[in-house]
Amino acid sequence: MNSFNLNRRSFIKGTAAASLALTSVGASAAMFNPEKKYRVALLGTGWYGKSDLFRLIQVADVDVVALCDADTKQVSQAAEMVSKRQKSGKKPKQYGDYKKLLAENKLDIVLIGTPDHWHALMAIDAMKAGAHVFVQKPISVDVIEGEAMVAAARKYNRVVQVGTQRRSTPFLEEAKEQIVEKGLLGKISHAEVCCYYPMRNSANPPLQPVPDHLDYEMWTGPAPMRPYDGLPHIRWWRAFMEYGNGVMGDMCVHMLDAVRWTMGLGWPTRITSQGGIYVQKDAKSNIADTQTAVFEYPELNIVWTHRTWGRAADPKYPWSYKIYGDKGTLEANTMMYDFTPIGDGEPIHKDVEIDRVNFPEDLTEERIELNAAPAMRKHMLNFLAAIENNERPVADIEEAHISTASCILANISMELGRPVVYDSKTRQVIGDPEATAMLMRPYREGYVHPLPEYV
């Protein structure tokens, strides 16, 4: 490709990024300073960690100085890919210990794309080191971790954006503003969120030696040490409650957060959940294959359902949220939305718009979620603008904590077989000492659980 075409493509991409920036930050914030070159590190260089970093590189000329992963093969491959994606062409330094990375590099931004059990410790340590943080959802594996992350963000005055990018999805912003906020649904008293994807891994691999390229001790970190039965990357770790919160923590958090954002909701007043392993009993996986939960608000219930088996209740919207009003219904997912009025009025349908012109590299990126890429670019621009203007981003850590903790509380309700009412001020489940004790998971020996009072 000649220099003219390269410069033309850079100009087009820069113009697209600037346009995105203007629309992403809203009237309350100015566009971020394109002259400032942020020093960036990524902790966790697997699928979604790299995807988040590549979206950031697409909208800002950042300097990716370091990468960290417990798998030397994975971090080496990621360094090669980053050198080809960032403008400088520089290959980032590679680490296996994130604390060493933080100690040896002065960073403006740390992205965290590890499995869930590492999110809290890494985010808090990054904030203490002076960095702003982008962390994937769910933010934590227990409620007190999340409380500590919020406390750290406020104490150290750091911007923390969370990967709940429905809040930056252009067509869902439109649905929020033009349908819900304009009253087209009327009085809303019911919402449904669901996932019917076959997400529960059915494998039963044998125990095997840990490969030389994986530091399994470091990978496990504060989580319980499971016998090694294969590389945990991509989907295998998600099959175990040791590292996360099952489909509830992985998928419900997105759609519950989308409903909360769309309707301006805070903490649920009460949460009830039932479920378990009802069908897929032969696999090693210990996450629920069937679960229902009710998140109660005044005159409103949000009902979650997931099954990792059988057919979707609505094949058009297998992972989605649906908001019901007395004047109409809004159905939405990562691909589209449909508004259906009751009585007079015209139905409205909108599909995601995928930019294949300004970001052609998306089309060849391995395992990219093309439908999410526009939202994540806008999410990153909002993050940068919040840093520049010292204000909270659209997916601020506190909002993500409410959505994450609500899902964790649903799992607690399912395990105990009774409703839970969480008081975020006292950090207790009201009238339930047994449930309160479950708000904080025990850490493996050698690791100290963060507490909000001592971050």
Beta bridge partners of 307: 290
Rounded CA separation 173/162 (Å): 17
pLDDT digits (tens, 9 = 90+) for 296-313: 999 999 999 999 999 999
Residue 216 counted as domain residue: no
Q: ∠ at Cα 167 (134, 59), nearest 5°?
A: 55
Residue 385 counted as domain residue: yes
**Residue 402 clears pLDDT 80, i.e. is over it:** yes
Residues 192 and 243 in one domain: yes
Residue 300 CA: distances (Å) to CA of 27, 79, 188, 191, 269: 31, 48, 7, 8, 10
pLDDT digits (tens, 9 = 90+) for 110-153: 999 999 999 999 999 999 999 999 999 999 999 999 999 999 99
CA atoms within 13 A on the CB side of 141: 25
Residues 6+ apart with CB under 8 A from 68: 41, 42, 43, 44, 45, 75, 94, 95, 96, 97, 98, 101
Predicted confidence at residue 29, as pLDDT, reads 40
Q: Nearest Cα to 164, choosing from 248, 258, 249, 234?
A: 258
Residues 302 and 385 in one domain: no
CATH, residue 227: 3.30.360.10
Is residue 70 within 8 A of residue 216, CB to CB? The reply is yes
Residues constituting the chain? 455
Residue 112 counted as domain residue: yes
Q: Tokens 């989308």 appear where? A: 258
Predicted confidence at residue 31, as pLDDT, reads 63
Residues 76 and 150 in one domain: yes
Residues 96 and 186 in one domain: no
Predicted confidence at residue 235, as pLDDT, reads 86
Rounded CA separation 372/363 (Å): 13
Domain assignment of residue 185, given as a range: 170-203+222-357+400-439
CATH, residue 123: 3.40.50.720
pLDDT digits (tens, 9 = 90+) for 10-43: 434 554 554 554 444 443 344 667 778 999 999 9
Predicted confidence at residue 12, as pLDDT, reads 43
CA atoms within 13 A on the CB side of 336: 9
Residues 333 and 426 in one domain: yes
pTM of the model: 0.94
Helix extents (H) in 46-114: 47-59, 72-85, 98-104
